[in-house]
Amino acid sequence: MKSHRYRVTVQALDSSADRASVKFKVDHHDELFAIVDKVRRGSGYADDDAAALAVGLKLLNGVMLNHRNDPLFADVQPALRAFIGNLKARTAAMDSDQGCDNIA
């Protein structure tokens, strides 16, 4: 399976923060930029909220998939699958209403 490599940076915009930023690298099977674009177009949320939702959800899901047998995720897995399905349905419906192509 093809993997995409990303550097994620969270940078404090408030000077009172103890750290200036947190950076880490992550491999993910999805192309995150396309997913962010799709969620921005189809969720109905403001761009920053849509991007945070898409990236946060995909990062959590990636960790959960890497550790699928960890009991920590047992209660979350079914709900997260349902949530992702609902989000995909919403973005697909809004894409079709707007005449946009779906991104798988």
The pLDDT tens digits of the residues spanning 4-17 come to 999 999 988 876 66
In this prediction, residue 104 carries a pLDDT of: 34
Range of 51's domain? 31-98
Overall number of domains in the chain: 1
The 8-class DSSP code of residue 98 comes to H
Question: Does residue 25 belong to any structural domain of this protein?
Answer: no
Question: Does residue 53 belong to any structural domain of this protein?
Answer: yes
Question: Does residue 3 belong to any structural domain of this protein?
Answer: no
In this prediction, residue 19 carries a pLDDT of: 74
Question: Does residue 64 belong to any structural domain of this protein?
Answer: yes
pLDDT of residue 32 exceeding 60, the answer is yes
Q: Confidence class of residue 67 from pLDDT cuts 50, 70 and 90?
A: very high
In this prediction, residue 14 carries a pLDDT of: 76
Q: Is 67 helix (H, G, I), strand (E, B) or coil?
A: coil
Mean pLDDT of 46-51: 97
DSSP annotation string for 23-81: EEEEEESS-HHHHHHHHHHHS-S-HHHHHHHHHHHHHHHHHHHHTTT-GGGTTHHHHHH
In this prediction, residue 26 carries a pLDDT of: 94
How far is 80 from 63, CA to CA, in rounded Å? 12
Question: Does residue 21 belong to any structural domain of this protein?
Answer: no
Question: Does residue 26 belong to any structural domain of this protein?
Answer: no
